[in-house]
Amino acid sequence: MLRTSSLHNRLQAACPRFATLSVCAFAIGAIAHTPAWAAGTLAGTNIENIATASFDTGSGTVDIQSNTSVILVDELLDVTVASTDPGDVTTTPGATGVSLTYRVTNNGNGPESFRLTVNVANSGDDFDPVFGQIVIDTNNNGVYDAGVDTVYVAGTNDPLLQPDESVNVFVLTNIPSTQANGDRASVSLVASAGTGTGAPGTTFAGAGEGGGDAVVGTTGADGDANGFIRVDAASVVLAKSATILDPFGGSNAVPGSIITYTLVATVGGTGTLNNLVINDPLPAGTSYVAGSLTLQAASLTDAADTDAGNFNGTRVSVTLGNVPSGETRTVTFQTRIQ
């Protein structure tokens, strides 16, 4: 966008006080619709200039023109890569297809294709994920859509970007099953200009748009960015205790005594433990006390129905579902010593 002062000066030049309204309107329209490219004038543009000179003779003023000076604008090779994930992408040990999102932008002044590569072996992190594949965001919605977005094949579908154009790129990785809670990995995506890379100012003669040279810009024409993966490995500790009530009001384990078992599942680490289920087989020498099963002090039916618990004749089972770290679930049931 033009700065206000610059636009004002250009309007004054285009619309002198003696110009008609239609001339001014045309000039304003031409200025307003001039595209503003991040990298400046488009590659392949001819910058033309003619000088004039005038002098007086006895018969009047004579004007002459110089030859036309033509300068072909060379192509500037520049690219930036940015991670667009809002933070660490969380996952679990053994997970597959963990997606990181990046945005590749052509900051040059000409159309350019970019070769994409990934580095999963960065120093300073806790582990190296296993590289899966690079995927181009075909529908440009910023979300990886399996089967919709296009798998990238180097040299075959390198993204061709116009000046200031961007594309979303996904990097898919797999997580080793041995990773521990809190482990963090860094994954780099590199985008390199197909014309060439190098130190700023490196020139590729005749390789630019329109037959001009291609010149490496400040980014070296090979931008990169890191995305991060964090393992949230929730864990569970299951503690079991028992109390006894004998037929005489005491706590002796004799035939006829009632044993109340208490199972406490405590989820630690970070994240959520999914589909947690507690199963406890009936101890030998005891019989189940019908209707004694509870979850969080609420009674459960013995039948396999819509509530979380059941007794199938040999064991009790309670489905706890997805339990966030830091929370506990308590199950109780009773048996009678035979």
Q: What is the pLDDT of residue 12?
A: 47
Q: Name the CATH superfamily housing domain 76-231.
A: Immunoglobulins (2.60.40.10)
Determine which of 57-71, 128-142, 241-255 has the lowest per-residue pLDDT on average: 57-71
Among 277, 180, 176, smallest CA distance to 232 is for 180
Q: What is the pLDDT of residue 15?
A: 47
**At residue 11, does pLDDT exceed 50?**
no
Determine which of 1-15, 51-65, 101-115 has the lowest per-residue pLDDT on average: 1-15
Residue-wise pLDDT tens digits, 226-266: 999 999 878 899 999 999 999 999 999 999 999 999 999 99
Domain 235-337: assigned CATH number: 2.60.40.1170
Is residue 112 very low, low, confident or very high in pLDDT (cuts 50, 70, 90)?
very high
Are 210 and 166 a contacting pair, CB within 8 Å?
A: no
Is residue 37 very low, low, confident or very high in pLDDT (cuts 50, 70, 90)?
low
Are 39 and 217 a contacting pair, CB within 8 Å?
A: yes
Q: Distance (Å, rounded) from C-alpha 106 to C-alpha 110?
A: 8
What pTM did the predictor assign? Answer: 0.66
Q: Distance (Å, rounded) from C-alpha 170 to C-alpha 160?
A: 16
Q: What is the pLDDT of residue 233?
A: 79
| Backbone Cα Rg of the chain | 36
Q: What is the pLDDT of residue 30?
A: 42
* Residue range(s) of every CATH 2.60.40.10 domain in the chain: 76-231
Q: What is the pLDDT of residue 325?
A: 86
**Residues found in the chain:** 338
**At residue 17, does pLDDT exceed 80?**
no
- Kindly state the percentage of the chain with pLDDT values over 70: 88
SS in 3 state form for the chain?
Answer: CCCHHHHHHHHHHHCCCCCCHHHHHHHHHHHHCCCCCCCCCCCCCEEEECCEEEEEECCEEEEEECCCEEEECCEEECEEEEECCCCCEEECCCCCCEEEEEEEEECCCCCEEEEEEEECCCCCCCCCCEEEEEEECCCCCCCCCCCCCEECCCCCCCCEECCCCEEEEEEEEECCCCCCCCCEEEEEEEEEECCCCCCCCCEECCCCHHHCCEEECCCCCEEEEEEEEEECCCEEEEEEEEEEECCCCCCCCCCCCEEEEEEEEEEECCCEEEEEEEEEECCCCEEECCCCCEECCEECCCCCCCCCEEECCCEEEEEEEEEECCCEEEEEEEEEEC
Q: What is the pLDDT of residue 180?
A: 85
* Residue range(s) of every CATH 2.60.40.1170 domain in the chain: 235-337
Task: Report the relative pairing of strands 184-193 and 60-65 from DSSP bridges.
Answer: unpaired
**At residue 221, does pLDDT exceed 70?**
yes
| Sheet strand arrangement including 160-161 | 89-91, 222-231, 184-193, 112-119, 160-161
**At residue 1, does pLDDT exceed 60?**
no
